[in-house]
């Protein structure tokens, strides 16, 4: 009976979502405060109902209730409890439930933390989020019910969770990513509310900004975790594959990054309004599009979930309603938006415009590359695939341009900069970066590489430019202490995030240009040189895990005559699914990772062995963490709390000039 209770909670949540999507909006249209006031309680109720539903499904996994179809397909008696918890979102139905739960969770957050926002605006925002909820819950109830039973003959044991997903990385990666994807729905809902209420001004941008930033932070963490998981679990040793599913998360990230910067202009200067709204719509729409691409099976991917055309049609219909509807509203309402104010060609506005332009071009190129196979196939052009060469050829130079100009925005004043003295120290920064960057590759393994030198120059330039910005603020405020108190968390967040970009750029440049990589045939007793190390294959042994059997190799890594470390890569065969998984042995380090993975057995006890030294690879994720962390710092800015206390007073021109 327990599963039916979860199903019932889901149906209840559906009913509540319908009310939440309709009643407050109707209340707004007819000016009835009692109806408007239902928005917040309904959002809380929906969150509760979905939490109950989610808890019931988790319970089903924990107690091995194989009469639930979804549990039987994705769990097993021998699956450890923590993977049974994460298996809840290990496949299609459960990850949708997680998605709906997180959406409702954001709704709860909006109703709790929106006291500074006029009641009717919050009500429209929650109504829009309720409508999105209707779509997702309906999708579950009608095509992908996680509580479907396998009765009367429940299996004695389950089919087991996909072994790829039996990994600690999976416990955190999807929830983080969904927090980001779905968090963008708040920015979307704010944009829709502004369009509906005809209130596209600086105040709206201020309300929307912290929500966008926090969602962006989660998305950053989610993508970084996914990349890290692919690196150590897929056993290919790469960290980014330009796979459609990865691209589906990168595209909204690029657009959300543009949105964050554009919102800054709209809040501070009241400009770019129409463009900012469009970005807010686009960011969430692209998140939904990502879901469509992953769930409908229109594109192939290493992540391929079960494909089902019926589901595809449903999601496509939902996409058309959400994206088509909002773009129609945009086309009708944005015409009334005027763009007051001008800005000179040398101003922070123009640098941020440049940032937006570059990020949009990047997003569109990745989107086109991802969809190209589908577009060609649809017009009868046959099967083509767009590989990493395309993405690298487009993405790398554009990113390099973006990063090289990132330094200027913060150093430039709003409106019009007459005095370019602030730029002068940049000449020193440029000379130092070029000198150090040009010499750096000679210190690394392998041949001299121009790309590596360029990456180092860019990273160093960005760090020095950011430090210069911090230094000039300090001069402005007189002392570091005064600056720390006065400057606002938004600036600290930006500095941390920009340095994070530099760290990631450096990591990427090093890994891509100085990785020493060898595929060799080795048997027990064999020795291979790897950079400064010697790798000795000691032995192979067979092991039995809880739900898999494993061939484990022992390798000793020697540094001269000193034993540095012994590592044990594995090749696992999971019993229920008969899937083979590579467990690479990785010795992580600050300046390099040692990576040893077993390939195929070659007979005579020999194995194909993959040996790599990956310099600075962990900096890629370290930098991403700094970016996301910068976002979290930024939303702690006290002006968001002040704005709340001050209620809805519009920003005065004097404030616009002083607050940066």
- Binding residues for other proteins (CB under 8 A): 274, 278, 281-282, 285, 292, 296-300, 309, 312-313, 316, 319-320, 323-324, 327-328, 330-331, 334-335, 371, 373-375, 377-378, 382-383, 573, 578, 580, 600-601, 603-604
Q: How far apart are CB 382 and other proteins at their closest, in Å?
A: 8
Q: How far apart are CB 599 and other proteins at their closest, in Å?
A: 11
- Residue with smaller CB distance to other proteins, 334 or 432: 334
- The strand pairing partners of 566, in sequence order, are 556
Taking Cα atoms as reference points, which of 498, 513, 511, 562 lies closest to residue 534?
A: 562
Q: How far apart are CB 299 and other proteins at their closest, in Å?
A: 6
616's tokens: 């600075």
CA 484/CA 492 separation, integer angstroms: 9
CA 18/CA 38 separation, integer angstroms: 12
Q: How far apart are CB 309 and other proteins at their closest, in Å?
A: 6
- Residue with smaller CB distance to other proteins, 97 or 282: 282
- Residue with smaller CB distance to other proteins, 45 or 281: 281
CA 528/CA 520 separation, integer angstroms: 8
Q: How far apart are CB 361 and other proteins at their closest, in Å?
A: 15
- Residue with smaller CB distance to other proteins, 310 or 559: 310
Lookup result for tokens 């209840």: 12
82-117: buried (b, 16+ CB within 10 Å) or exposed (e) per residue? Answer: ebbebbbbbbbbbbbbbbbbbbbbbbbbbbeebebb
Taking Cα atoms as reference points, which of 364, 242, 253 lies closest to residue 302?
A: 242
- Residue with smaller CB distance to other proteins, 380 or 653: 380
- Residue with smaller CB distance to other proteins, 277 or 510: 277
Q: How far apart are CB 358 and other proteins at their closest, in Å?
A: 19
- Residue with smaller CB distance to other proteins, 76 or 285: 285
CA distances from 103 to 221, 401, 432, 477, 574 (A): 18, 36, 48, 42, 34
- Residue with smaller CB distance to other proteins, 290 or 409: 290
Q: How far apart are CB 392 and other proteins at their closest, in Å?
A: 23
- Residue with smaller CB distance to other proteins, 63 or 368: 368
Lookup result for tokens 């595209």: 251
Is the CB of residue 66 less than 8 Å from the CB of residue 152?
Answer: no
Is the CB of residue 463 less than 8 Å from the CB of residue 403?
Answer: no
Q: How far apart are CB 255 and other proteins at their closest, in Å?
A: 12
352's tokens: 């941020």
Taking Cα atoms as reference points, which of 357, 159, 333 lies closest to residue 258?
A: 357
- What's the 3-state SS for 616-643? CCHHHHHHHHHHHHHHHHHHCCHHHHHH
Q: How far apart are CB 121 and other proteins at their closest, in Å?
A: 23
- Residue with smaller CB distance to other proteins, 292 or 537: 292
3-state percent helix, strand, coil for the chain, nearest multiple of 5: 65, 10, 25
- Residue with smaller CB distance to other proteins, 119 or 308: 308
Q: How far apart are CB 298 and other proteins at their closest, in Å?
A: 4
- Residue with smaller CB distance to other proteins, 328 or 442: 328
- Give one DSSP letter per residue of 377-423, joined into a string: HHTT-------HHHHHHHHHHHHHHHHHHHTHHHHS-SS----GGGG
Assign residue 270 a region (left: φ > 0; alpha: ψ between -120 and 50; beta: otherwise): left
Is the CB of residue 499 less than 8 Å from the CB of residue 629?
Answer: no
**C-beta neighbour count of 559 within 10 angstroms:** 12
Is the CB of residue 17 less than 8 Å from the CB of residue 185?
Answer: no
Q: How far apart are CB 377 and other proteins at their closest, in Å?
A: 5
Q: How far apart are CB 258 and other proteins at their closest, in Å?
A: 14
Lookup result for tokens 């001069």: 475
CA 335/CA 332 separation, integer angstroms: 6
Q: Looking at the chain, how many residues does it have?
A: 660
- Residue with smaller CB distance to other proteins, 536 or 571: 571
E strand residue ranges, 166-262: none
Is the link from the previous residue into 152 a cis peptide, with omega within 30 of 0?
Answer: yes
- Residue with smaller CB distance to other proteins, 112 or 378: 378
Q: How far apart are CB 296 and other proteins at their closest, in Å?
A: 6
Q: Indicate the angle between helix axes 244-269 and 273-296, nearest 10 degrees.
A: 160
Q: How far apart are CB 164 and other proteins at their closest, in Å?
A: 16
149's tokens: 């039973």
- Residue with smaller CB distance to other proteins, 532 or 601: 601
CA distances from 48 to 85, 99, 206, 449 (A): 19, 14, 29, 56
- Residue with smaller CB distance to other proteins, 124 or 371: 371
CA 37/CA 398 separation, integer angstroms: 48
- The strand pairing partners of 517, in sequence order, are 612
Q: How far apart are CB 331 and other proteins at their closest, in Å?
A: 4
Q: How far apart are CB 365 and other proteins at their closest, in Å?
A: 15
Q: Which long-range contacts (CB under 8 A, 24 or more apart) does 392-396 make?
A: 394/362, 394/365, 394/366, 394/369, 395/362, 395/365, 395/366
């Amino acid at each position: 009976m327990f599963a039916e209770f979860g199903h019932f909670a889901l149906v209840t949540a559906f009913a509540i979502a319908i009310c939440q999507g309709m009643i407050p909006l109707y209340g707004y249209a007819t000016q009835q405060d009692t109806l408007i006031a239902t928005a917040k309680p309904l959002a809380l109720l929906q969150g509760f109902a979905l939490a109950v539903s989610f808890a019931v499904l988790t319970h089903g996994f924990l107690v091995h209730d194989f009469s639930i179809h979804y549990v039987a397909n994705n769990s097993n008696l021998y699956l450890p409890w923590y993977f049974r918890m994460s298996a809840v979102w290990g496949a299609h139905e459960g990850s949708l439930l997680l998605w709906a739960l997180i959406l409702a969770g954001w709704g709860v957050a909006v109703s709790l933390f929106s006291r500074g926002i006029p009641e009717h605006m919050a009500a429209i925002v929650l109504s829009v989020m309720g409508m999105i909820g209707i779509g997702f819950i309906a999708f579950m109830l009608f095509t992908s019910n996680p509580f479907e039973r396998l009765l009367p003959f429940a299996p004695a044991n389950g089919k087991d969770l996909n072994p790829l997903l039996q990994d600690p990385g999976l416990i955190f990666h999807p929830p983080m990513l969904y927090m980001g994807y779905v968090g963008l729905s708040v920015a979307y809902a704010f944009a829709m509310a502004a369009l509906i209420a005809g209130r596209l001004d600086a105040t709206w941008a201020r309300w929307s900004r912290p929500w966008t930033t926090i969602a962006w932070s989660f998305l950053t963490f989610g993508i970084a975790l996914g990349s890290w998981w692919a690196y150590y679990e897929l056993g290919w040793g790469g960290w980014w594959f330009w796979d459609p599913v990865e691209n589906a998360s990168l595209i909204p990230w690029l657009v959300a990054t543009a949105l964050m910067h554009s919102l800054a202009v709209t809040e501070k200067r009241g400009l770019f309004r129409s463009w900012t709204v469009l970005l807010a719509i686009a960011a969430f729409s692209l998140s939904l599009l990502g879901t469509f691409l992953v769930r409908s099976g229109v594109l192939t991917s290493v992540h391929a979930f079960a494909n089902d055309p019926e589901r595809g049609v449903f999601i496509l219909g939902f996409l058309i309603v959400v994206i088509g509807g909002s773009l129609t509203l945009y086309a009708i309402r944005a015409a009334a938006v005027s763009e007051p104010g001008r800005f000179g060609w040398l101003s922070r506005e123009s640098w941020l415009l440049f940032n937006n332009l570059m990020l949009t071009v990047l997003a569109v190129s990745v989107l086109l590359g991802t969809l190209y196979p589908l577009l060609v196939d649809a017009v009868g052009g046959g099967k083509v695939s767009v590989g990493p060469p395309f993405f690298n050829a487009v993405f790398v130079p554009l990113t390099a341009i973006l990063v090289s100009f990132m330094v200027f925005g913060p150093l430039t004043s709003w409106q019009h900069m007459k005095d370019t003295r602030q730029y002068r120290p940049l000449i020193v920064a440029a000379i130092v970066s070029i000198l150090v960057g040009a010499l750096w590759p000679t210190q690394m393994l392998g041949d001299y590489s121009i790309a590596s030198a360029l990456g180092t120059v860019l990273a160093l330039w960005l760090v020095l430019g950011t430090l210069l910005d911090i230094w000039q603020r300090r001069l402005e405020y007189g002392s570091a202490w005064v600056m720390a108190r006065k400057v606002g968390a938004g600036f600290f967040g930006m500095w941390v995030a920009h340095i994070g970009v530099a760290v990631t750029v450096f990591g990427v440049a090093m890994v891509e240009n100085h990785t020493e990589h060898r595929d060799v045939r080795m048997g027990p007793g064999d020795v291979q040189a790897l950079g400064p190390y010697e790798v000795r294959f000691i032995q192979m042994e067979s092991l039995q895990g809880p739900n898999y059997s494993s061939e484990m190799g022992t390798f000793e890594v020697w540094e001269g005559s000193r034993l540095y470390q012994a590592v044990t890569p594995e090749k696992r065969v999971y019993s229920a699914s008969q899937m083979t998984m590579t467990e690479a042995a990785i010795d992580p380090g600050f300046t390099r990772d040692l990576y040893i993975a077993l390939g195929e057995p070659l007979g005579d006890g020999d194995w194909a062995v993959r040996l790599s030294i990956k310099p600075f690879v962990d900096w890629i994720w370290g930098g991403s963490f700094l970016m996301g962390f910068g976002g979290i710092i930024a939303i702690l800015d006290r002006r968001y709390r002040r704005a709340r206390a001050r209620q809805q007073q519009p920003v005065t021109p004097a404030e616009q000039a002083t607050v940066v």
